[in-house]
Structure 1
Amino acid sequence: MATPIPCLAQLSRMCLPVGRQSISRTPVRLLAPTIQVRYKSRGANAPPIQSKAAKALKAASSNPQKNKKKDSEKKKKRKPRTTYRQYDMKDAEQFALCDAIRYIRAIEVGRNPTSVKYEMALKLKSLKNGPVIRNRLRLPHPVKTDLRICVICPPDSKHAEAAKAAGATLVGEDEIFEAVKDGRIEFDRCICQTDSLAKMNKAGLGRILGPRGLMPSSKMGTVVKDPALVIKDLVGGAEYKERLGVIRMAVGQLAFTPEQIALNIKTFLDAVKKDMAQLSDRINKELAEVVLSSTNAPGFPLNGEFRDLKSDVQPRDLSTS
């Protein structure tokens, strides 16, 4: 009688060794804070093994308020800056005045010499919340001489006649008030005589002229007894004010010679240094950087020299006929 042929399941059971213990499967939970691994030697009831990363993740998830306190403490420790950021000028490239003028004129080539202005920027070492420098200056070589000056004073007074003779374009009271209220502001500077101050304040011109910087005030020296004397200073004069630690002012036209620009720059620097010296001893302001630019050209830091001896640029070559 033929013996039956065993099936595959029977053959597999016959090949397995008798008495071999089966190892328990290792359950792994993905993206879990703990990884459970069971070994035969530890037993099924042993606690799961945790890695350092899993412990840190568990601690962060278990106490989020404590972590927020730590982050807030770190932010509190960072004190805000009280001064403006400064750059080390030792590694920066600086130029002599004639070299800077040469590059600026090359960039402004083909433009009207009277329309382009040389601009000076003085960067100061100053506190953010400290007092600012603000003043008016008349340069030896005026940059803008076509100012339209308005004088508010009684039209029949001697001050009105003197103001017209000094070069004022508008003189009067009621006519100027009505023109300003109608939006016709045809002047660049405004001066008020002390006798007309109360009438000007009653007219309510502050909300119109104030945002434009044209409102007369005794602090700025535009409310005076004799307007004629102030007009002579205004023609060719300019105001400068410190903003974010920088003072900017136009110091010349493109047609100016290097000597004229140098004289204007020196006058401007002396005036700013004088303003800094008049501040309180507790307030320290220092001149950190001097930059010359123009209407369309970038800024060129100056090293304080008029002409570089190694350069072949001559001041007469930069003069416009």
Structure 2
Amino acid sequence: MATPRSLIAPLSRLTTSSIAASRHQAPTLASIPYQSIRCATTKAQPKKKKKARNTFIQYDLKKTEPFSLVDAMQYIRAFEVGRNPSSSKYELAIRLRTLKNGPSLRNRLRLPHPVKTDLRICVIAAPDSKGAAEARSQGAALVGEDDIFNQIKEGIIEFDRCICHVDSLQKMNKAGLGRILGPKGLMPSTKAGTVVPNVGAAVRAMVGASEYRERLAVIRMAVGQLGFTPEEMQRNVKAFMDAIKKDISQMKGPVGKEIHEVVLSSTNAPGFTLSGDFRGANSIAAKELSGPM
């Protein structure tokens, strides 16, 4: 049996140097300076703002089926079956390719076949003047000065158009009607052609004429009643299109307005894109759309 002395003897041969050598053989972790520890982060890139469009978005007509005038009228009359032909009206919408901040079109047109409307016309003129008498004879609904001013200030506006005689312009401006009639598009002005020296002729022209105005790159106007024949509609549509083209050509500066689409609809029917043709290859005879519905 081994004695304790015999066990201790081998251990005594281990020198301090051998123990130190064994320590150096063990793997050690080198200390990493604090400054060298970094996180793999990326700087957030600012989002690029989309450039705002300066033109109105219009539909791609490649995906739209165009209709001739006769075909569009046939489908529209099918939607209007059972309704009074004189109460429902054909409406033409002209979509434009134009700038958002560009000038807008506004004018008045007398169609070859006028569309009867119940326009109530107000004429601002001295009640006992010659102009007031002419306005009444031409069918003006309201004629006068102070009485009309008071009604407007009270919020009673019972007219669709307003004309002012040049002699009553200063009195109308003093009444301060611009803040009431201006937002409604009813304020008479020389630029709009509603401040005139001859109110009788102006009323007569306005009763038989239709007014159109560009809103959000679209111009709308009634171009006929359901009782109109295709030939009458063709003449009215052509007159309207010619007037729009003339207005665009007379605008000054880089306007950049172009006709993009022409859509025919009615009071109770959807819209049909017109191809520009009167009849198609498979269209019905125009005379079949001339009779009662």
Would you say the 8 A contact 1:114–1:254 is kept in 2? yes
For 1:294 and 1:266, how far apart are their aligned partners in 2? Answer: 18
For 1:103 and 1:174, how far apart are their aligned partners in 2? Answer: 50
**Range that drifts further, 215-224 or 275-284:** 275-284
Tell me which residue corresponds to 1:315: 286
Tell me which residue corresponds to 1:279: 251
Percent of aligned pairs sharing the same letter: 61
For 1:213 and 1:281, how far apart are their aligned partners in 2? Answer: 25
1:289 Cα shift? 0.8
Unaligned runs of 5+ in 1: 1-42, 47-57
For 2:28 and 2:142, how far apart are their aligned partners in 1? Answer: 102
Tell me which residue corresponds to 1:82: 54
Deviations 1:178-233 (A, max 9, x none): 22223332222111001111111112222222222221111111111110111111
1:164 matches 2:136: yes
Q: How many residues align?
A: 260
Deviations 1:58-101 (A, max 9, x none): 64xx34xx31xx232x33xx322222223332342100001001
Q: Determine helix, strand or coil for the equivalent of 1:104.
A: helix
Q: Determine helix, strand or coil for the equivalent of 2:265.
A: strand
Q: Determine helix, strand or coil for the equivalent of 1:276.
A: helix
1:210 matches 2:182: yes
Tell me which residue corresponds to 1:222: 194
1:144 Cα shift? 3.0
Tell me which residue corresponds to 2:238: 266
Higher relative contact order (CA 8 A, sep 6+): 2
Tell me which residue corresponds to 2:5: none
Deviations 1:115-168 (A, max 9, x none): 211111111111111111111112122223432211111112111122222222
Q: Determine helix, strand or coil for the equivalent of 1:235.
A: helix
Q: Select which of 172, 178, 198 maps to 1:200.
A: 172
**Range that drifts further, 257-266 or 142-151:** 142-151
For 1:284 and 1:91, how far apart are their aligned partners in 2? Answer: 24
**Aligned pairs for 1:13-24 within 5 A:** none
Cα distance, 1:44–1:104 mapped onto 2, change above 3 Å: farther
Tell me which residue corresponds to 1:177: 149
Tell me which residue corresponds to 1:99: 71
Cα distance, 1:308–1:218 mapped onto 2, change above 3 Å: same
1:292 Cα shift? 0.6
**Range that drifts further, 245-254 or 139-148:** 139-148
| RMSD of aligned Cα (Å) | 2.2
Would you say the 8 A contact 1:194–1:225 is kept in 2? yes
For 1:320 and 1:213, how far apart are their aligned partners in 2? Answer: 38
Tell me which residue corresponds to 1:150: 122
Cα distance, 1:212–1:249 mapped onto 2, change above 3 Å: same
**Aligned pairs for 1:31-180 within 5 A:** 59=40, 62-63=41-42, 66-67=43-44, 70-72=45-47, 74-75=48-49, 78-180=50-152
Would you say the 8 A contact 1:256–1:320 is kept in 2? no
1:235 Cα shift? 0.5
Question: Aligned partner of 2:60: which letter?
Answer: D
Cα distance, 1:216–1:258 mapped onto 2, change above 3 Å: same
Tell me which residue corresponds to 1:297: 269
Q: Determine helix, strand or coil for the equivalent of 2:61.
A: coil
Cα distance, 1:196–1:93 mapped onto 2, change above 3 Å: same
Unaligned runs of 5+ in 2: 1-26, 31-38
Question: Aligned partner of 1:94: which letter?
Answer: P
